[in-house]
Amino acid sequence: MISLLKKLIPWQLKIISKIILMRLPFAYPLLSKLYIVRHGDMDNYNYALGVFQKHYKAQNIKTLEGKTILEFGVGDSILTGIIGYFHGCEDTILIDSGYYIKTDVNHYKLAIEHFAKVLNKPKVDQTFKNIDELLRFFNISYLTKGTESFKEIKDNSIDFCFSQAVLEHIYSDEIELFMRELHRVMKSDFPSTHQVDLKDHLESSLNNLKFSKKIWESQLFKTSGFYTNRINKDRMLNIFESAGFKPNILSATKWDELPIPADSIHQDIKPKNIDTLLTSDFMVSLAK
């Protein structure tokens, strides 16, 4: 019912409503439950496991035993750290731009039982009483300062890194530094993989390209739950290369034609090669 209503609401009204709703006290917990604003679906057991295994397979790593994991943009959950534990990882680093994770230990206890069963692993003695004890038990470091969080990670220390629909949310004036920091912490022999969603997060179209840079990059828009950096595929690949990576597109989805009229795209954001906007999402591997 909620998903149907979301489809029926015009994207312009979604912007106005989110600007208002995100400024209410305790806005995010309530809006998340209603699926109006959510930091992804990584709190869903099967979804989180599917994402983890997709990136694990794409990176063609023989084993994660004793490895260090990095995921950024983890959203509402630390399930990646628990899944990594069952794959033999030594520790997990999770980065986000704020403290968003669920702290109900019972949610994770059920997830632990689920993963142990699905992955055919021994059961875990669940003696932890709160989220901090759980984080320590699974050797999970939860860092909540976005790009600045990289300062707490050593050079060449990450074996396995992935992100799922996150890179498009990093502020446009931060993403170059973000990618340089990612390059610094990754080990040379291990690529990272990233699913990038280039659609607007209003109507799965490109309506976000209709706004000037001044309006779209304002704090009002950045902090209202619908911001994406509007960086197209070609420019994104250039940013990866400038940071020192060799990008390899593993898969991509394209529109047959632009979902909006080309002349409705604001000049601030209109690329010289309009065809680059036909790519709606892609998965990329980044090697140092």
Q: Do 210 and 266 belong together in one domain?
A: yes
Q: Do 62 and 115 belong together in one domain?
A: yes
The answer to the question of residue 87 being in a domain is yes
> What pLDDT tens digit does each residue of the chain (288 aa) get?
445 445 667 888 889 888 887 777 665 555 555 455 555 566 688 999 999 999 999 999 889 999 999 999 998 899 999 999 999 999 999 999 999 898 999 999 999 999 999 999 999 989 999 999 999 999 999 999 999 999 999 999 999 999 999 999 999 999 999 999 999 999 988 899 999 999 999 899 999 999 999 999 999 999 988 999 999 999 999 999 999 999 999 999 999 999 999 999 999 999 999 999 999 999 999 999
The answer to the question of residue 27 being in a domain is yes
The answer to the question of residue 181 being in a domain is no
Q: Do 51 and 137 belong together in one domain?
A: yes
Domain count within the chain: 3
The answer to the question of residue 171 being in a domain is no
Domain boundary pick from 112, 143, 164: 164
What is the predicted pLDDT for the residue at 220?
96
Q: Do 65 and 133 belong together in one domain?
A: yes
Q: Do 139 and 67 belong together in one domain?
A: yes
Q: Do 64 and 34 belong together in one domain?
A: no
Strand 246-254 to strand 279-287: parallel, antiparallel, or no bridges (unpaired)? antiparallel
The answer to the question of residue 248 being in a domain is yes
Per-position b or e across 46-57, b if 16+ CB within 10 A of its CB: eebbebbeebbe
Question: Can you read off the two tokens belonging to residue 66?
Answer: 């004793």
Q: Nearest CA to 93 among 119, 118, 120, 69?
A: 69
Domain boundary pick from 164, 184, 219: 164
What is the predicted pLDDT for the residue at 229?
98
The answer to the question of residue 18 being in a domain is yes
Q: Do 48 and 29 belong together in one domain?
A: no
Whichever domain contains 55, its CATH number is 3.40.50
Which strands, in side-by-side order, build the sheet including 246-254? 140-143, 91-95, 68-72, 160-164, 192-197, 279-287, 246-254
The answer to the question of residue 66 being in a domain is yes
What is the predicted pLDDT for the residue at 33?
54
What is the predicted pLDDT for the residue at 8?
64
Question: Can you read off the two tokens belonging to residue 105?
Answer: 């230990």
| Domain hosting residue 9, numbered range | 1-38
What is the predicted pLDDT for the residue at 2?
41
Q: Do 33 and 46 belong together in one domain?
A: no
What is the predicted pLDDT for the residue at 162?
97
What is the predicted pLDDT for the residue at 132?
96
What is the predicted pLDDT for the residue at 18?
84
Question: Can you read off the two tokens belonging to residue 21?
Answer: 């709703």
* 3 state DSSP class of 92: strand
Q: Do 53 and 146 belong together in one domain?
A: yes
Q: Do 103 and 135 belong together in one domain?
A: yes
Strand 160-164 to strand 279-287: parallel, antiparallel, or no bridges (unpaired)? unpaired
Q: Do 13 and 49 belong together in one domain?
A: no
Q: Do 62 and 22 belong together in one domain?
A: no
The answer to the question of residue 252 being in a domain is yes
Query: DSSP letters along 187-213, please?
Result: -TT--EEEEEE-S-TTTSSSGGGGS-H
Asked if 44 contacts 75 with a C-beta cutoff of 8 angstroms, the reply is no
